[in-house]
Amino acid sequence: MSLPMVVPDPTLPRHVTIWEVGPRDGLQNESGIVDTATKIEFIGRLGEAGLSIVEATSFVRPDRVPQLADAAEVMGGITRRPDLRHPALVPNLRGLASAIDCQVRDIAIFASATETFAQRNLGRGYDDQWQMFDPVVSSAREHGMGVRGYLSMCFGDPWEGPVPADQVAAAAKRLYDMGCETISLGDTIGVATPGQASDLIARLTDAGVPLAALGVHFHDTYGQALANTLAALRSGVTSVDASAGGLGGCPYAKAATGNLATEDLVYMLDGLGIEHGVDLDALVETSLWLEARLGRPSSSRVLRARGDHMRKES
């Protein structure tokens, strides 16, 4: 089925990099433990579908995120390819040491734009978090690793309310100056709107964070994830986080629902004639496969529509 119709928009980027977060950000929020073999196959299937960046796991304390306690086994079981990146989230130097032992080439750290979420997620305040991250970033760079900085609560915080754009810009600039090559702006509880997304990106570039270093990470709590993504693309952003099947949320922010579904993102990019390298049918097959193993339906609109069509053809 040749959908969607392609109508290019010359004002948008010609290519977008999709940062797939399903195996890490998605599975860490499952109520049950997904077995290691399933995780490894999931990661492999995503790579075969054409995703060039598949965030594999997180080296965190097992008692904090038991769903990812098998990080070393997952990294040891996946197939490494020079054209495929498998970043891992690390919270501190201990996590970084584990990642280095597993020959991880790219890491990410997870900072907060607000005081309350820093306390709840990191166990330390907004100002103190930088002291924890600075040696992690420095050591990772010394080992030749790529470093990404996630910045959460960029648009709204369930405890503090709307987050001032200048406050987010200051935090993003600290991550960039620290040595993070890319910074992902997180709408952790999914309250952003397109105008807010465009305004924040402009504030960040005015603060000295290059547009090429920015990525966006939208949750779909209010159904705004695709609209916000399109606004970010119009602002010149070319890196978008998404999760196969819309998996995800945040274990320390209960208001956070699923991430932008990778299938929905790919469908929109296809319709706009934007290159991304992903085979939509292969991606849908992968998410349907995982859906069956999780025992519940996906939140992806495209997965529902395309999956039903694929079932009728089979």
Rounded CA separation 45/67 (Å)? 20
**pLDDT at residue 29 in the model:** 85
> How many C-beta atoms lie closer than 10 Å to residue 95's C-beta?
20
pLDDT in tens, 164-185: 999 999 999 999 999 999 999 9
Rounded CA separation 169/154 (Å)? 9
| Exposure of 313 in the CB half-sphere (CA atoms within 13 A) | 8
Rounded CA separation 183/96 (Å)? 18
pLDDT in tens, 7-61: 999 999 999 999 999 999 999 988 889 999 999 999 999 999 999 999 999 999 9
| Distance between start and end Cα atoms, the chain | 13
Instruction: Please give the helix or strand (H or E) that residue 294 lies within, else none.
Output: helix 280-294
How big is the chain by its Cα radius of gyration, in Å? 18
Rounded CA separation 203/240 (Å)? 19
pLDDT in tens, 108-149: 999 999 999 999 989 999 999 999 999 999 999 999 999 999
Average pLDDT, the chain: 93
Model confidence band, residue 258 (pLDDT cutoffs 50, 70, 90):
confident
Q: What are phi and psi of 275, to 5 degrees?
A: -70, 145
User: Which of 29-33, 201-205, 244-248 is the least confident region?
Assistant: 29-33
Q: Decide: pTM greater than 0.85.
A: yes
What residues contact residue 150 under an 8 Å CB cut-off, 6+ apart?
89, 108, 109, 110, 111, 183, 184, 186, 217
Fold of 17-313: TIM Barrel (3.20.20)
Task: Classify residue 246 as left (phi > 0), alpha (psi -120 to 50) or beta.
Answer: left
Closest-CA residue to 17 (of 202, 200, 278): 278
3-state SS class at 219: strand
pLDDT in tens, 60-93: 999 889 999 999 999 999 999 999 999 999 999 9
Instruction: Please indicate whether residue 250 is annotated as part of the active site.
Output: yes
Task: Name the β-bridge partners of 89.
Answer: 58, 108
What residues contact residue 161 under an 8 Å CB cut-off, 6+ apart?
none
Tokens standing for residue 154: 């960029």
Which listed residue (102, 154, 180, 250) is catalytic?
Answer: 250
Long-range contacts of the stretch 63-67 (C-beta < 8 A, 24+)? 65/28, 65/251, 66/33, 67/27, 67/28, 67/29, 67/30, 67/33, 67/34
pLDDT in tens, 205-241: 999 999 999 999 999 999 999 999 999 999 999 999 9
> Residue ranges of the domains in the chain?
17-313
